[in-house]
Structure 1
Amino acid sequence: MKALRFYAPEDVRLEEVPEPECGPDEIKLKVKNCSTCGTDVKIFHNGHQNLTPPRTIGHEIAGEVVEIGADVTGDWSVGDRAQVIAAVPCGDCYECEKGWMAVCQNQTSVGYQYDGGFAEYMIVPRQVLKVDGLNKIPDNVGYDEASAAEPFACAINAQELLGIEAGDTVVVFGAGPIGCMHIRIARGVHQAGPVYLVDVNADRLKMSADAVQPDEVIDGSKVDVVERVMELTGGRGADVIITATAANITQEQAISMAARNGRISFFGGLPKTDPFIKCDSNVVHYRQLHIHGANGSAPEHNKRALEYISSGQVPVKDLITRHIPLDDVLSAFSIVKNGEAIKVTVEP
């Protein structure tokens, strides 16, 4: 079968490999869709400390069950449509026992320690099944939509931590697919008030704004973002700010524009070579700000993402603007890097 294999930074090859065999405590999928994200681009260029090469990458996966190991329990049948979690908690550590599976200290990941979904077939490992991380796709949800449930789950986790209330003013930095999902979750799930979308790429800003219709777009390359948000909020600031981009300045701007009792999500990780920001601690202190980190999800968030997609509460179909065959998978990385599409999915 064909699979995209990572050997080293910028040494990523689409090649023929043996079709994987299903063990007694595993399930084998025929991959239907594996979507892409900025993390895939970072892996392509820089690798990852948890990725053991050679490795089939790709972690936003939906497929069809084609084989079930003899020891697998649960209601699974050949032909079932399934979505796979990416971040795999151990289920046994202190954090997992507390219900904090999104921050499991022993977390492994599909596409890192286990072969991922940029392939014709893949194995769902025992550890995924142990934590109930393989989810049936609702009948009215396409494979492409289901593959978007994984990043969607990460956004759900972040917003739950923020405690968004009906009517809250929300600012989202980053007009990529995750920024679009954040806007739709804030509105569709939490009934947020005005939502403002910020980016410095005018083309990407327009493309995403056309899809998710924020109340206003703010081009950070042309205006003072903090000043504009203050104008839009009558000087009060934003209740919720989500930085869905890997830019230090957005985190600094988020603190500066936050209203009293404002909640901030540092959703996008910063470059490891420059992970620090300037923070006016007195602003945090006197405005009683709440700053949250968030980067992943728990298995339950993936289930909730599929439910929101199925119900129409948070649609994602229109955010998937490019479908690429596995034979052309390498082009997906440049499309994502250049912001030429909202969401790109690969179809083996």
Structure 2
Amino acid sequence: MRAMVYEAFRQRPEVREVRDPSCPPHGVVVKVEATGLCRSDWHGWMGHDDDITLPHVPGHEFAGTIVATGTAVSADWSIGDRVTAPFVNACGSCVQCRAGDQQVCDDQTQPGFTRWGSFAELAVVDHADVNLVRIADEVDFATAASLGCRFATAYRAVVQQGGVGGAGGAPRWVAVHGCGGVGLSAVLIAAAYGADVVAVDVAPAALDQARRLGAAAVVDGTESDVPVAIRDITGGGAHVSLDALGHTATFQNSVRCLRTRGRHVQVGLLVAEHAAQSVVMGPVVADELEILGSHGMAAHDYPQMLRDVAQGRLRPELLLGDQLTLEDGVDALLEMSASSPTGVTVLRP
């Protein structure tokens, strides 16, 4: 198969012929019709992920059709089925999985990280019965590819961890720091579920897109005091605030912009020089603030999200940006060293 491969971290990848993947007994092989280019792929290429063994094929959010099934896979899945999968391939049997928390599986694998990924014509989904998600015919592959990481990750962060759209008084003000793929997904989802959203970014194009997706207000991230700006807009601070980028500035601004009993949700990966963060604990205790992490979303939680997509309440297709070949995707990956694209870039192997 053709795939994008890098032999060393921070070395320019190349597109070339590589071996086809073998189908594990509990898994399936998927013909990749579309795969998203995510900032997590850039982190992997930079060497920020300890799970990667070189040479490596990146890519972890994809959609396509099943072309091979393992001997242990149930009859629910057949060759030709249109599918996607969370970027966390859960084992289905560990303590976390038995509790329904497959997104933090103790024995997880991840395409594009622990094994070769989806910047290729073929990709493997481990433990298919636990991890496959069926795609309705009316959802195109490019849109479906965005669901496996950024959109589903944002959905869990906003709805399940943030509590937006829930019963008993949904949070009114939601701040989103960083308007790349995850951040814009969070803006769209929070607005769709009735929240007033303040979007923060340093790029005018990203802020314009956030407005189009439903943000009630935007803040230029280069302002001298972003939390003060958010407090002024919201009349006291955000009820829920998400760091969707993973940077010292966005993390600190997210925590500091909360109102009393507010909730910070960390979505963006804090790695390298941003990995260790300090938090002033006085306000956390006195104002009863919450600081939560959010890591993907389990396959069994997709149905409600997909129903809202099918009914038009959620419109992930609005997030789609450029659609590129694998060859053009090499430059797009390297360009993330300077900035993240607005919206979701999709590669077509």
Normalising by structure 2, we get a TM-score of 0.90
Q: Is the 2:180–2:341 Cα contact (8 Å) retained in structure 1?
A: no
Partner Cα distance (1:277, 1:114) in 2: 29
3-state SS of paired residue (2:6): strand
Structure 2 residue 210 is matched with structure 1 residue 209: yes
Change (3 A) 1:275 1:30: closer
Q: Is the 1:149–1:305 Cα contact (8 Å) retained in structure 2?
A: no
3-state SS of paired residue (1:345): strand
Change (3 A) 1:279 1:77: closer
- The structural deviation recorded for 1:320 is 0.8
**Matched AA of 2:288:** Q
The residue number in structure 2 matching 1:198 is 200
Q: CA RMSD, aligned part only? A: 2.1
Q: Which runs of 5+ in 2 are unaligned?
A: none
Change (3 A) 1:302 1:101: same
3-state SS of paired residue (1:197): strand
3-state SS of paired residue (1:183): helix
The residue number in structure 2 matching 1:227 is 228
- The structural deviation recorded for 1:335 is 4.6
The residue number in structure 2 matching 1:143 is 141
Of residues 175, 179, 186, the one that matches 2:179 is 175
Q: Is the 1:243–1:268 Cα contact (8 Å) retained in structure 2?
A: yes
- The structural deviation recorded for 1:283 is 0.8
Q: Is the 2:30–2:125 Cα contact (8 Å) retained in structure 1?
A: yes
Q: Is the 2:48–2:271 Cα contact (8 Å) retained in structure 1?
A: no
**Matched AA of 2:156:** N
- The structural deviation recorded for 1:341 is 3.3
Partner Cα distance (1:327, 1:249) in 2: 34
Partner Cα distance (1:304, 1:50) in 2: 32
1:265-288 Cα distance to aligned partner (Å, 9 max, x none)? 121222333423342211111111
1:156-187 Cα distance to aligned partner (Å, 9 max, x none)? 22221222243511110001111111112212
3-state SS of paired residue (2:63): strand
3-state SS of paired residue (1:118): coil
Change (3 A) 1:280 1:307: same
Partner Cα distance (1:210, 1:319) in 2: 12
Normalising by structure 1, we get a TM-score of 0.90
- The structural deviation recorded for 1:43 is 1.2
3-state SS of paired residue (2:273): coil
Could you tell me the percent identity over the aligned residues?
29
Structure 2 residue 65 is matched with structure 1 residue 67: no
Q: Which runs of 5+ in 1 are unaligned?
A: none
Change (3 A) 1:304 1:113: farther
1:253-311 Cα distance to aligned partner (Å, 9 max, x none)? 22222111111112122233342334221111111111111132222234444333222
| Corresponding residue pairs, total | 341
